[in-house]
Amino acid sequence: MEDIEKLADPAAGSISQTTKAATPPSDRAEIVFAGGCFWCVEAVFEELDGVIDAVSGYAGGTRETANYRDVCSGKTGHAEAVRIIYEPSKIAYEDLLRVHFATHDPTQLNRQGNDVGPQYRSAIFYANDQEKALAEAIIDDLREQKVFSRPIVTTIEPLTEFYPAEAYHQNYVCANPGQSYVRAVALPKVEKVRKLFKDRLKETSPLEQSAK
């Protein structure tokens, strides 16, 4: 049985002050995560205060194969990924990592639910050694806290390039709240982040704004 509520408590298994201090302050930063369908990941992070934008795309492969048709083959090396642009003064890298692990299953290898293939793998793409160290530290914390009953299989991969996905994939959940996959898979993840991270949410949900 998973105990993901621990992820909402920054005091539980929090990354050491020494590790966190290595991250320089900045008005704007980026991180790339993968955790199944990028529609879901994008919608989750758009809910958070301090997140300026979340962009669906591809990471892990080459420019030539960075398109939905090729990536769906599972043979490109790409993962469906999301680039999260955020304000570190409002939300920390550690908080984003905790949200990520709370809103997908990092124990499923090359899949999330019925979405199967390496393009749906759980991954953190790091841009520098500091990000890599933070990602490794939080995974170690989750293992020590035994948050998940099965082994974490999330990969930590160097970010060579991020390629934005086709326009119709962007803000897909907000644009298509009644679509069957969105209702069955994406919206429950959004509800999970709203429940677990109430103090981290924007005043108005992007889903509510899009419905106006």
37: helix, coil or strand? coil
CA angle 31, 149, 7 (to 5 degrees): 40
Exactly one of 37, 40, 72, 174 is catalytic; which is it? 37
> Catalytic residue at 40?
no
**Strand ranges for 17-50 from DSSP E:** 29-35
d(CA 85, CA 55): 8
Residues 185, 189, 190, 191, CA torsion sign: positive
What single-letter DSSP state applies at residue 155?
E
> Per DSSP, what are the bridge partners of residue 30?
85
Of the candidates 97, 104, 55, the one whose C-alpha atom is nearest the C-alpha of residue 200 is 97
By annotation, the residues acting in catalysis are 37
